[in-house]
Chains A and B, each alone.
Chain A
Amino acid sequence: MTAVVLRIKSIQYRLRLLEYIKKAGAGHTGGSLSCVDILNVLYNRVLNVSPENFADSRRDRYIQSKGHSVEALYVVLADKGFFPESDLETLCRFRSPYVGHPTRKIRGIEQNTGALGHGLAFSVGVALAGKKDNADYRVYTLLGDGELAEGSNWESMLTAAHYHLDNLTAIVDRNQLQISGHTESVCRLECLTEKFQAFGWSVRSVDGHDVTALADVLGSIPFEVGKPSMVIARTIKGKDVSFMEHDAKWHHGVPSDEQYERARRELETLLMEAGA
């Protein structure tokens, strides 16, 4: 899949996730928009996972620790054919399995997540099992930057380095925002690169909206044999909708009718510019 096609897909995913959030009247808008390009590159370029091999123990595993951004995951999984996209019309409705955080009830989702700070520990277990079974699948997990304040992440980082889990990659959606505001003013995270390195991880930083750069970085894993890989993906919360970008209030903001139309027009313009 070429960079142009990937770029077009990202904009389409953004359009769809906004549509379902608007219909449901709920969702984590800003964080879903920020991680779309990462999910796009993972599912369309990196992961050996599909509806056909989802029961195969040799499949790659993706665990979304920042479960809040489930709307982005839903549209990508629907696009990959894990379930009919029309299912998402029921998002957040009574009796719909498509709830506001990932659950294993949905085909394509590996683990219930959304309570923050747990996805990495779970992924370490999956990667450990792979090493112990001499399986060659790879494990990817997506962390929000805000959730790095959870101490459980740092416990898991120690374990991953200790057991040389070079089959494990963590990606931080580094959009610099969490629900209350800027990550550095809520509880300072920087210098993240040095912290991850000190915990024994091999670290690379990348523009989290540049699909070519993301594909390059995620395609060259492990960065170092014997070490887990950490990707700091520099992103923009609310990406590609001008009035949502860099604004914490869109963490779980739902657009009004007027705002939704404006967002849709902006994304459609981007789609044309991308050559769709």
Chain B
Amino acid sequence: MTQTGNTRIAFIETLTEIAAQDPTAALVCADSILVVKGQAFAQKYPERFVDVGIAEQNAVACAAGMASCGLVPFVATYAGFITMRACEQVRTFVAYPHLNVKLIGANGGISAGEREGVTHQFFEDLGIVRTIAGITVVVPADEAQVRHATRAIHKTPGPAYMRIGSGRDPLVDCEDVPFELGKVRVLADHGNDVVLFANGFVVNRALAAADVLSRQGVHPTVVDVHTLKPLDREAIVDLLRQTGAAVTVEDHNIIGGLGSAIAELSAEACPTPVMRIGLRDTYPRSGEPGPLLDYYHIGVADIVEAAKRAMQMRDRKVR
């Protein structure tokens, strides 16, 4: 049984710590205070809390106005309501004028929609924000990483989007690998046979797949690409060169997210077989995260299989 943490609480606790130091930090909700457990923040910092009601477009544009006056608003609600309903506000009124607004998207991925169905499962958010110029995109792997990422985006001026989960988010046992915005984290280095790039709440699956591969005599490297934008091009190209075979693992549509980002970079800088593991451009069912991810071929066995296919493609090319 996977141990879980709570990325929503990790976010709000960190923001509360930040607010104790930085009087400009603010929380903007769209009737989403319960989503991010923001009650204590609102009580402690009523002058730094705004709820605009169920009106995400309003929330994002208001936050832009607040940022223009020197505040650092964190807009927190469901990932899809920020990136889809308020997409134009994010693009034209936050990113284009480069305003210091932080967007926190909950229920990122299909695994977050345990009880809720497609309306509350968001697997397009990263593809949408990634196409918007001038915005940092972060996909932390678990609650500990959310704490680091929240601090990092607060410290870095400019627009940012950070994905959080459902509040039942698997823990990754790699706390000792430091987090640096814009840099990949190498979580396991079994060797250079194949590289597994992963991010978000399926990083633990990539690590489990690496263990399976190792036992079978294949030696992978597992890399957490928590910053989807700007991408750590140098480190990723190095890894592609060293291994010549790659797999991407994400809880997102295979179009637009990590798989796309790595494939684009690979095609331009170091052509390498890249197998994408993710939701294969369909609308998922909902249910418990484990079986759900397995059903949509984001399982450990799928990653193992994909790694072998990537290596086969590489080796055929050599012959």
Contact = CB atoms under 8 A, between A and B. Distances in A.
Interface of A: 57, 103-104, 110-112, 115, 118, 121-130, 132-133, 135, 152, 155-156, 158-159, 162-163
Interface string B231-251: 000000000000000000000
A121 B57 contact: yes
Given A118-B89, A132-B47, A125 B65 contact: yes
A110 B65 CA distance: 10
A29 B313 CA distance: 61
B62 A159 contact: yes
B62 A124 contact: yes
Interface stretch (B13-21, B48-56, B111-119, B128-136): B48-56
B70 interface: yes
Contacts of A152: 57-58, 61
A122 B62 contact: yes
Contacts of B55: 155, 158-159
Nearest to B92: A115
B69 A159 contact: no
Size bin of chain B's contact surface = 20 to 34
B66 interface: yes
A159 B53 contact: yes
Nearest to B71: A129
21 contacts: A110-B68, A112-B92, A118-B92, A121-B65, A122-B64, A122-B68, A125-B62, A125-B66, A125-B69, A126-B65, A126-B66, A128-B50, A128-B65, A129-B71, A135-B69, A152-B57, A158-B52, A158-B55, A159-B53, A159-B62, A163-B50
Interface in B1-33: 26
B69 A130 contact: yes
Q: Which 9 A-B pairs have the closest CB atoms?
A: A125-B65, A121-B61, A125-B62, A129-B69, A155-B58, A155-B55, A126-B65, A122-B65, A125-B66
A112 B93 contact: yes
A112 B97 contact: yes
A150 B57 CA distance: 11
A34 B97 CA distance: 28
Nearest to B65: A125
B48 to A, nearest CB: 7
Contacts of A135: 69
Nearest to A127: B65
A129 B66 CA distance: 5
B228 interface: no
A123 B53 contact: no
Q: Which of B63, B66, B69, B89 has the most chain A CB atoms closer than 10 A to its own CB? A: B69
B69 A126 contact: yes
A156 B92 CA distance: 17
A74 to B, nearest CB: 18
Interface SS, A side: helix
A176 B135 CA distance: 39
B62 to A, nearest CB: 4
Contacts of B61: 118, 121-122, 124-125, 152, 156
Contacts of A104: 97
A110 B68 CA distance: 8
B74 to A, nearest CB: 14
B62 A57 contact: no
A70 B26 CA distance: 32
B159 to A, nearest CB: 13
Q: Which of A121, A125, A127, A152 has the most chain B CB atoms closer than 10 A to its own CB? A: A125
B211 to A, nearest CB: 49
Nearest to A101: B92
Contacts of B26: 132
Contacts of A103: 97
Interface string B83-120: 00000110011001100000000000000000000000
Nearest to B55: A155
A111 B48 contact: no
A149 to B, nearest CB: 14
Contacts of B66: 125-126, 128-129
B65 A124 contact: yes
Given A121-B62, A122-B64, A133 B93 contact: no
Q: Which of B26, B57, B58, B63 has the most chain A CB atoms closer than 10 A to its own CB? A: B58
A272 B229 CA distance: 60
A72 B146 CA distance: 47
Contacts of B69: 57, 125-126, 129-130, 133, 135
A126 B64 CA distance: 8
Contacts of A122: 61-62, 64-65, 68, 93
Contacts of B70: 57, 129
A130 B65 CA distance: 10
B65 A159 contact: no
A122 B52 CA distance: 13
Contacts of A111: 64-65, 68, 93, 97
A272 to B, nearest CB: 43
Contacts of B73: 125
Given A111-B64, A118-B61, A121-B58, A159 B97 contact: no
